[in-house]
Amino acid sequence: MTDRQTVKQDGSDMSDGEFDRQLGALLSTPGDADTAILSRAVLSQLAKNSTSASAPLGAVLSEPLPWGAGFLGLLLIGGVFGYLGSTWIAGDGLLTLLTLGDPLALLGGF
Amino acid sequence: MAAMARGERAGLARLIALYGTGIRRYAAQMLSVRSEAEVVAQEVFLRVWTRAHSYDPDKGAVSSWLYRITVNLCIDHNRRCGFRRFVGLDAAPEFEDEMPGVEAQLDGRQRLALAHAAIKALPARQRQAILLKVAGALSTVEIAEALGTSAGATEQLLIRARAALRAHMDLEDG
Query: Tens of pLDDT along B93-145?
Result: 555 554 545 554 556 677 777 888 888 889 999 999 999 999 888 999 999 99
Q: How far apart are the first and last CA of chain A?
A: 99
> Has residue B84 got a pLDDT over 60?
yes
Please write the tens of the pLDDT for every residue from A61-78: 667 788 888 999 999 998
> What residue segments make up the domains of chain B, in order of their start?
1-94, 101-174
Looking at beta carbons, which residues of chain A come within 8 Å of B110? 4
B139: three-class secondary structure by DSSP = coil
Task: Please indicate if any CB of chain B lies within 8 Å of the CB of A23.
Answer: yes
Q: Which residues contact B149 (CB under 8 A, 6 or more apart)?
A: B157
Please write the tens of the pLDDT for every residue from A51-61: 655 555 666 66
Which residue from A minimizes the CA distance to B166? A11
Domain B1-94 carries which CATH code? 1.10.1740.10
Query: Hey, are the CB atoms on A32 and B25 less than 8 Å from each other?
Result: yes
> What residue segments make up the domains of chain A, in order of their start?
64-106
Please check whether the two domains, B1-94 and B101-174, share a CATH topology: no
Dihedral sign (CA A17, A19, A22, A26): negative
pLDDT at B169: 75
Fold of B101-174: Arc Repressor Mutant, subunit A (1.10.10)
Which residue from B minimizes the CA distance to A11? B166
The Cα A10–Cα A14 span in angstroms is: 6
Which residue from B minimizes the CA distance to A13? B166
Task: Please indicate if any CB of chain A lies within 8 Å of the CB of B17.
Answer: yes
